Amino acid sequence: MAVSTTSDVKQRAEIITKTKEITAFLNWAADPHAQDRKQLGIYVIAYLLLLTVLLYFWKVQIWRKVH
């Protein structure tokens, strides 16, 4: 009985592993450029934050001269 239990555990582990691999592949196949978009999104957000800070300081400098 111990042999069948061990083989059942191995079979279940193999099935779980294959299921995870298939799921990962299908996720990639559905949207193969998702990782590239996420990486680009980080750069876009960083650029926009930097631009926001610079424009804020520029606005403060302009309004300082006005008042």
Query: Which residues have C-beta within 8 Å of that of residue 45, sequence separation ≥ 6?
Result: none
SS3 67: coil
Q: Is 43 exposed, middle or buried (0-12, 13-18, 19+ CB in 10 A)?
A: exposed
User: Residue 36: which of 46, 24, 44 has the closest Cα?
Assistant: 44
Tell me which residue has tokens 């191995």: 10
Q: State the pLDDT at residue 3.
A: 55
pLDDT tens across the length of the chain (67 residues): 445 688 899 999 999 999 999 999 999 999 999 999 999 999 999 999 999 999 999 999 999 988 6
**For the whole prediction, is pTM greater than 0.75?**
no
